[in-house]
């Protein structure tokens, strides 16, 4: 099969032929229909994830059709169209038993713990625990994006921060995961304010329903916080840092009202310094969101089915598998055009 492959961190990936995967006893092999290009893939390629063994094939947001089954798979069949959370749970550990497979101690992650979806086929483990049936009517790009950025944002806002209709929400960083949070916040009835340094990203946020935007380019922290105070004089109920920088996390936390809830979704290159004085003094909650277990997808899928949430509107471009190496390098160098890129593997590309 074709796969985007690298054998050295930060060395340019190449498209090459590699052996097709075989299913584990409780796993499946999926023919990839579409897969998202995410900044997490870049972090893995650059060597920021110590769980990756070389050589490696990245990619973790996907939708496709099952082509092979392990002997112990019971809930799915060859030909089923499926997606999966990027954190695949074992289904047997204490975390899984408590319904928190997103922090499974034995988790596997396509594109990180084993070869991923920037390929014609991908192996997925513990299928009965992790696979989610996808209707034929759902757009392939939308289905692929449900596996990571939308699921992570949905869990962060709904299950962690308990966002309610009428709450004020600030999203700092309007890349793919940040815009997912904007769209979900709007779908849930929150008043959303978006912050970014890119006018095009802020235009997208406004198009997706943000009531106000803040262009923070060249602004001091004090100036950004003042702009946010103008938008929400009492402070925000919920904040999201979708970028993963010390400054963006600090701004998000400091913008909260007393007893507000901060959700950290963006990954940090190294552990940041957090304004703990504000956390203590205002009794703020600082929450993480590390994906979402498969059993919690129905609420997210209901929003999509009701057309209140349209992940496909986030897609700015679709590329063939052969263009993935260039796209990874451009994203790492901050030369990507912004918006979300989806890789199409079925249209003859």
Q: Please, what is the Cα angle at 136 between 128 and 78, to 5 degrees?
A: 40
End-to-end CA distance of the chain: 14
DSSP H/E element including 61: strand 61-69
Q: How many residues does the chain have?
A: 349
DSSP H/E element including 216: none
The stretch 17-39 carries a mean pLDDT of 96
Cα separation, 183 vs 13, whole angstroms: 32
Q: Residue 219 — very low, low, confident or very high, per pLDDT cuts 50/70/90? A: very high
Per-residue pLDDT tens over the stretch 99-156: 999 999 999 999 999 999 999 999 999 999 999 999 999 999 999 999 889 999 999 9
Write out the E strands in 208-305. 212-215, 236-241, 256-264, 285-288
Whose CA is closest to 17, among 28, 38, 31, 3? 3
The bridge status of strand 28-37 relative to strand 340-344 is antiparallel
| 6's tokens | 């690298």
* The pLDDT of residue 194 is above 50: yes
Q: What is the SS3 assignment for 220?
A: coil
Per-residue pLDDT tens over the stretch 141-182: 999 999 889 999 999 999 999 999 999 999 999 988 999 999
**DSSP per residue, 12-59:** PPEEEE-PPP---TT-EEEEEEEEEE-HHHHHHHTT--TTPPSSB---
* The pLDDT of residue 337 is above 70: no
Unique residue bearing structure tokens 């950025």: 149
Q: Which domains does the chain have, with CATH numbers?
A: 2-148+292-344 (3.90.180.10), 162-288 (3.40.50.720)
Q: Which residues touch 286 (CB under 8 Å, ≥6 apart)?
A: 253, 262, 264, 274, 279
Cα separation, 242 vs 299, whole angstroms: 21
> Are 116 and 123 within 8 A, CB to CB?
no
Q: Residue 272 — very low, low, confident or very high, per pLDDT cuts 50/70/90? A: very high
Cα separation, 230 vs 216, whole angstroms: 14
Cα separation, 216 vs 42, whole angstroms: 24
The stretch 67-75 carries a mean pLDDT of 97
Considering the chain, what percentage of its residues have pLDDT values greater than 90?
89
The pTM is what? Answer: 0.91
Q: Which residues touch 215 (CB under 8 Å, ≥6 apart)?
A: 196, 197, 199, 202
The stretch 25-31 carries a mean pLDDT of 98
Q: In this structure, how many other beta carbons lie within 10 angstroms of the beta carbon of residue 66?
A: 21
* The pLDDT of residue 278 is above 80: yes
Predicted local confidence at residue 349, as pLDDT: 47
Cα separation, 116 vs 53, whole angstroms: 12
Q: What is the SS3 assignment for 343?
A: strand
How far is CA 201 from each of CA 174, 198, 256, 304, 319, rounded to the nearest angstrom?
6, 5, 23, 22, 20
Predicted local confidence at residue 334, as pLDDT: 75
Q: What is the SS3 assignment for 175?
A: coil
* The pLDDT of residue 347 is above 90: no
Predicted local confidence at residue 333, as pLDDT: 84
Predicted local confidence at residue 118, as pLDDT: 98
Per-residue pLDDT tens over the stretch 286-308: 999 998 999 999 999 999 999 99
């Amino acid at each position: 099969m074709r796969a985007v492959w690298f054998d050295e961190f930060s060395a340019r990936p190449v498209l090459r032929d590699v052996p097709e995967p075989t299913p584990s006893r409780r796993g499946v092999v999926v023919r990839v229909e579409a897969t998202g290009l995410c900044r997490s893939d870049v972090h893995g390629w650059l060597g920021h994830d110590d769980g990756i063994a070389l050589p490696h094939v990245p990619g973790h947001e996907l939708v496709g059709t099952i082509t092979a089954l392990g002997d112990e798979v019971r809930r799915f069949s060859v030909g089923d169209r499926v997606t999966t959370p990027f954190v695949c749970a074992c289904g047997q550990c204490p975390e899984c038993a408590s319904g928190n497979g997103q922090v499974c101690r034995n988790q596997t992650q396509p594109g990180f713990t084993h070869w991923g979806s920037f390929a014609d086929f991908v192996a997925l483990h513990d299928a009965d625990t992790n696979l989610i049936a996808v209707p034929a009517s759902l757009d392939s790009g939308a289905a692929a994006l449900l596996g990571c950025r939308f699921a992570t944002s949905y869990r962060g806002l709904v299950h962690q921060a308990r966002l309610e209709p009428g709450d004020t929400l600030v999203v700092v960083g309007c890349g793919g995961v940040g815009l997912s949070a904007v769209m979900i916040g709007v779908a849930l009835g929150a008043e959303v304010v978006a912050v970014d340094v890119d006018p095009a990203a802020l235009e997208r946020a406004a198009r997706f329903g943000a009531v106000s935007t803040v262009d923070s380019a060249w602004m001091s922290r004090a100036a950004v916080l003042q702009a946010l105070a103008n938008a929400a004089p009492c402070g925000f109920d919920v904040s999201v840092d979708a970028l993963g920088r010390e400054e963006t996390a600090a701004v998000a936390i400091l913008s909260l009202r007393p007893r507000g809830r901060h959700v950290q979704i963006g990954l940090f290159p190294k552990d940041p310094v957090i304004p703990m004085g504000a956390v203590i003094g205002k009794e703020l909650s600082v929450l993480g969101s590390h994906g979402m277990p498969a059993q919690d997808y129905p609420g997210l899928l209901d929003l999509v089915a009701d057309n209140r949430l349209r992940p496909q509107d986030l897609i700015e471009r679709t590329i063939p598998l052969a263009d993935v190496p260039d796209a990874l390098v451009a994203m790492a160098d901050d030369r990507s055009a912004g918006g979300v890129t989806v890789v199409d593997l079925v249209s003859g590309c």
